[in-house]
Amino acid sequence: MSQTKLFIDKFDEVIKPVLQVSDPRLEVIADRLKEMLTYNTRGGKLNRGVAVLDTVQYIIQQDSLPNADRLEHSAIVMGWCVEILQAFFLVADDIMDRSEMRRGQQCWYKKDNIGVMAVNDSFLIQSSIYSLLKQYFAKESWYIDVLHLFLEVSRNTEFGQAQDLLADQSPLEAFTMDRYSMIVEYKTAYYSFYLPVALALHITGRGSEEALAAAQDILLKIGHYFQVQDDYLDCYGDPSVIGKIGTDIQEKKCSWLFVTAASKCTTEQLSTLYTHYGKSDDHSVAIVKELYRTLDLQQCYLTYANSTYQEITAVIAECKVGLPKEIFQGFLDKIHKRSK
């Protein structure tokens, strides 16, 4: 059985505690919660959740840890908590971005009879995380550390989302690579890459400050690379493969493609970019994409991707904390040259 199938097969069992209500008047809400959790978590690639299980299993094998079954079950539960956190972010993000599709299906708020109720639904999804953590892990020595980790990472991600949204009110001249890197670190890297590994380290008793710091350094670099890939695929990816239609140009996103293009433009090209970027009409979008083609951003991206892969691989090789390097290399290899 593959890791992903094992993970998926445990979903209904894992979420059962949050669907149990003491007041029968709330049963209709519990049924709705099951629907929204299923719809918004199971359609993704599940890389974040499975990464918790993968990391725990690496550490079990490396250190010959006892109670492997119990640790693996804890990893599966924690992995679904990460996927539920992702679902919370995506439901809210789709509303804010006015997106149409997510993971090849309608965004939750676009479904019949959902609409603005999706705002409260996102809160219900988020609260499920903390119900599950309490239900499964309240007696563990690392429970408070994990609770604080989820709260801290959530706050960091919300800071990143706020920076991303504020870009709409900022002049395009303010879109720099430094600003882009800050948005990426806070909005994506912490919860997508650092969180799963940090949780696995706590579960296996390896969550020392030194280990967590070393893991964070590597994983934030991988998270940056991942977001650059996302920006590239938003423009150049196949919607039937990535599950959505890219809208970064129309939404005036501070993306890697825009920042890179701005740094390569002549004065005339920059004026064209500033005139048409952030406009929703097809003509303006086509002009921006043609400028990207003229600047050969596809080749710029390929050069960046190859050099970044080598740089991160070198950092992983130099890690001396004693963590299994397969954890980090596995993350990196899984996303390298991805098409969705």
Paired tokens of 312 = 């991160």
Query: 333 and 250 in contact (C-beta within 8 Å)?
Result: no
What are the residue ranges of helices labelled H in 185-324?
A: 195-203, 209-236, 239-242, 256-264, 267-276, 282-294, 297-317
* Catalytic residue check, 111: no
Q: What is the pLDDT of residue 326?
A: 87
Is pLDDT at 340 greater than 90 in this prediction?
no
Rounded to an integer, the average pLDDT of 126-131 is 98
Known catalytic residue at 187: yes
**Which entry of 10, 34, 97, 159 is annotated as an active-site residue?**
97
Q: What is the pLDDT of residues 222-271, one digit of tens each?
A: 999 999 999 999 999 988 888 778 899 998 999 999 999 999 999 999 99
Which pLDDT score, from 0 to 100, does residue 1 have? 59
Q: Among this protein's residues, is 282 annotated catalytic?
A: no
Q: Is 217 a catalytic residue?
A: no
pLDDT tens figures, 138-175: 999 999 999 999 999 999 999 999 998 998 889 999 99
Tell me what the mean pLDDT of segment 80-86 comes to: 98
Residue 328's nearest CA partner among 227, 155, 228, 201 is 201
pLDDT, averaged across the chain: 95
Mean pLDDT, residues 90-110 taken together: 92
Is 293 annotated as catalytic?
no
Catalytic residue among 7, 11, 88, 328: 88
Q: Which helix (H) or strand (E) holds 101?
A: strand 101-102
| Amino acid identity at 39 | Y
Per-residue confidence (pLDDT) for residue 66, from 0 to 100: 96
Q: How far apart are CA 324 and CA 59, in angstroms?
A: 7
Alpha helices in the chain (DSSP H): 3-9, 11-15, 27-41, 47-63, 68-97, 117-137, 143-166, 177-184, 195-203, 209-236, 239-242, 256-264, 267-276, 282-294, 297-317, 325-335
What is the share, in percent, of the chain residues with pLDDT greater than 70?
Answer: 100
What pLDDT sits at residue 201?
97
User: Does 145 participate in catalysis according to the annotation?
Assistant: no
pLDDT in tens, 273-323: 999 999 999 999 999 999 999 999 999 999 999 999 999 999 999 998 878
- Check 164, 234, 253, 258 and give the catalytic one: 164
State residue 339's pLDDT score: 85
Looking at residue 242, its pLDDT comes to 80
pLDDT at position 320: 83
Distances (CA, A) of 338 to 85, 227, 238, 242, 295: 23, 12, 12, 10, 23
Q: Kindly state the average pLDDT of the residues 84-103.
A: 93
42 catalytic? Reply is no
List the catalytic residue out of 10, 34, 42, 45: 45
State yes or no: is 102 an active-site residue.
yes
Whole-number Å distance between alpha carbons of 161 and 94 = 12
Q: Tell me the mean pLDDT in the region 119-132.
A: 98
Q: Which of 137, 150, 175, 226 is catalytic?
A: 226
Q: Which domains can be identified in the chain, with CATH numbers?
A: 1-138 (1.10.600.10), 140-340 (1.10.600.10)
Question: In whole angstroms, what is the distance from residue 76 CA to residue 195 CA?
Answer: 14
Active-site position among 102, 206, 221, 253: 102
CA distance 23 to 32: 15
Instruction: Catalytic residue, from 48, 187, 244, 252: name it.
Output: 187
Residue 234 is a catalytic residue: no
Q: Is 319 helix (H, G, I), strand (E, B) or coil?
A: coil
